[in-house]
Structure 1
Amino acid sequence: MTLMINRPQDAFGPLLKAWRTRKRISQLDLALDAGLSQRHVSFLETGRSKPSRYAIWQICEALEMPQAELDVMLMSAGFAPQSANTSWTTDVRDAVDTSLAHVLKGHEPFPAVSIDRIWTLQRVNDSARTFFARAGSTGQRNLLREVFQPGPLRANIRNWPEVARALFRLLDLEVARRPHDDEAKALLEELRDLPGVASAIVNRPKTPPAPVLSIEFVIDGVELKLFSLIATVGMSMDTTLDDLRIETLLPADEPTRQWFMGLREGRSAQGDQ
């Protein structure tokens, strides 16, 4: 993850004010939520007082900042980032890896992947590997680039403009959530400049959107409708885990469910040979 770390150590006040303004919360309300006095919050914003590490923790918790942004706030005040203090034991890492593998395998015969905050693939289950190959994947590790770039996969998504608009909005929200994430900002601009994307994201549907957006694929003449569920690691205190997402694709109708059941049977038959 790329963060803007070369910041002067007196940048904490402006950053605090920017976050408070973005959250539309008054100094008094922030002080109450963080367990500080309004006077202290005011002095922190103007630079008249220097924050302690504990005060930064309290403020970031009150503002519901992502772990990566907590690191930015700490560094802006001259402290080492929290991620530098995180130590992963072998047991913890193995437990996380085993749990991820269990979730992905348990979602068979439907596709499931683990991705980071900008949709870069970390691991996939067998169904996802088979499905994306048949849908026209070029092997691009970043799912957003794969979907947005002109090519076989994009061409096989029948409602691509709606899907592109929804995915672009999700990445835009991630950038708003982490304003110092240069990597996410760069990807957002890269996607915006791809052919057809600018018009797709500004055009609004003429009818009210469905409660859940289905991704409509056409593979070998067969129409498949899928919707996604995205899960995150709860109560994570580590930026790496905070970045992690598990996306599962589920059939939106019975023909799609039957298609994937047949896909599993086909893989099983090949394995028996």
Structure 2
Amino acid sequence: MSYNVTLSDPAFPGFLKNWRKRRRLSQLDLSLQSGMSQRHISFLETGRSNPSRFAISQLAEALEMPAAEVDAMLMSAGFAARSSQNGWDEATQKAIDASIDHVLKGHAPYPAVSIDRIWNLIKANEPAQKFFSHAGARGDGNLMREILSPGDLRDNIVNWGDTARSLMRLLEMEIARRPHDNEAHALHAELLALEGVAPLMSAPSSQTTAPVLAIQIRIGNDILELFSLIATVGMSADAALDDLRIETLLPANDATRVWFEAAFA
């Protein structure tokens, strides 16, 4: 797994100042939360002082920055990314892979997938593979591109407009969480260029937002309704591990439950 960052302001002072403003903190607020003096933070933001790795760690914790953004901040100050120094050992990698496989297999007969932060597919359980094939998926490695691109799957999503709008909002939230993620920005631009997506996003929603959006997919004569739950790895300090998501699809009504139990149980 890899991550890619690009810095709109590659220098550390601007990077720090931008993140402090994103959190709506004054220099005094950040001083109190990080345990550093306000004067030192001021000097860091003006470039009069250079940060140490420890200082960056303190600031990142106070600013509640995602692991990849911590890496980007380190690189902006001329340090190596933390994640590249703390590679997973073989035992950890095996434990993570086994845990993901356990969740995916245990979710049968319903679909479940392992994805990264921008919905690139890593693994899928057997019900997910068969279900998306029945629904007309082309086999694109990115699930957002798969759903938003013109084609059979898009045509079979009854509430495609609401689904597409929700997916794009999720991607925008990820970009807001990690503003220096070049891959996420590129995917967002690519998706907006797809037929019908930009007008959809610029038009006001005509319906009252439901508490939970259930995607409605037509397969043959049946319309199946599914909602999703997304799980992440807690307390991760590694950018690649922070990328991992497990998305499980669950039946939103009894008819959908019966369909999956009959098809994949």
Q: Quickly name the TM-score band, shorter chain normalised.
A: over 0.9
Distance 1:108 1:26 in 2: 49
Q: 1:4 aligns with which of 3, 6, 19?
A: 6
Q: Which residue of 2 aligns with 1:110?
A: 110
User: What SS is found at the alignment partner of 1:122?
Assistant: strand
Greater relative contact order (Cα < 8 A, sep 6+)? 2
Distance 1:264 1:4 in 2: 43
Determine the structure 1 residue equivalent to 2:236: 236
TM value normalised by structure 1: 0.93
Secondary structure, in 3 states, of the residue corresponding to 2:157?
Answer: coil
Per-residue deviation at 1:39?
Answer: 1.1
Q: Which amino acid aligns with 2:101?
A: A
**1:77 positional shift:** 0.9
The 8 Å contact of residues 5 and 75 in structure 1, kept in 2 or not, is answered as: no
| CA RMSD across the alignment | 1.3
Q: Distance in 2 between matches of 1:5 and 1:31?
A: 24
Counterpart contact for 1:74–1:82, Cα < 8 Å = yes
The Cα shift of 1:2 comes to 1.6
One-letter identity of the residue aligned with 1:77:
A
Is 1:16 matched with 2:16? yes
The separation in 1 between residues aligned to 2:128 and 2:221, in whole angstroms, is 19
What is the aligned partner in structure 1 of residue 199 from structure 2? 199
Cα distance change, pair 199–6 in 1 and its aligned pair in 2 (3 A): closer
Superimposed CA distance per residue, residues 116-153 of structure 1 (whole angstroms, 9 cap, x where no aligned partner): 01100000001101100001011111000000100011
**1:184 counterpart residue number:** 184
**Aligned residue number for residue 88 of structure 1:** 88
Distance, in Å, in 2 between the alignment partners of 1:155 and 1:6 is: 38
Instruction: Give the equivalent residue in structure 2 for 1:219.
Output: 219
Inter-partner Cα distance in structure 2 for 1:47 and 1:231 = 39
Matched residue, 1:78? 78
Q: What pairs up with 1:19-168 in 2 under 5 angstroms?
A: 19-168=19-168
What's the offset of the Cα at 1:18?
0.7
Query: Is the contact between residue 9 and residue 15 of structure 2 (CA under 8 Å) also seen in structure 1?
Result: no
Q: Distance in 2 between matches of 1:75 and 1:5?
A: 10
Query: Cα distance, 1:89 vs. partner?
Result: 1.4
Number of the residue aligned with 1:245? 245
What's the CA shift for 1:65?
Answer: 0.8
Taking the aligned partners of 1:87 and 1:166, their CA distance within structure 2 comes to 34
Question: 2:79 & 2:233 partners in 1: Cα distance?
Answer: 26
Q: Which moved more, 1:199-208 or 1:62-71?
A: 199-208
**How far does the alpha carbon of each residue in 1:194-234 deviate from its partner, in whole angstroms, 9 at most, with x for none?**
00001211223333211001101111020111000001000
Q: Is the counterpart of residue 258 in structure 1 residue 232 in structure 2? A: no
> How many residues matched?
263
1: distance between equivalents of 2:28 and 2:106?
48
Q: Which string of whole-angstrom CA distances, capped at 9 and with x for unpartnered residues, describes residues 231-259 of structure 1?
A: 10001111111000000000000000000
Q: Give the aligned residue type for 1:52.
A: S
The answer as to whether partners of 2:8 and 2:180 remain within 8 angstroms in 1 is no
Shift in Å at residue 5 of structure 1? 7.0
Q: Is the 8 A contact 1:110 1:127 kept in 2?
A: yes
Residue 161 of structure 1 aligns with an amino acid whose one-letter code is G
Deviation at 1:42, TM superposition (A): 1.0
For the residue of structure 2 that corresponds to 1:246, the secondary structure is: strand
Residue equivalent to 1:175:
175
Give, in whole Å, the separation in 2 of the partners of 1:47 and 1:28: 18
Deviation readout 1:166-190 (Å, 9 max, x if unpaired): 1001111111211111111000000
Segments of 5+ residues of structure 1 without an aligned counterpart are 266-273
How much identity, in percent, do the aligned residues show? 57
Counterpart of 1:221 in structure 2: which amino acid?
N
Q: CA deviation at 1:94?
A: 0.6
On the 8 A contact 1:162/1:200 being kept in 2, the answer is no
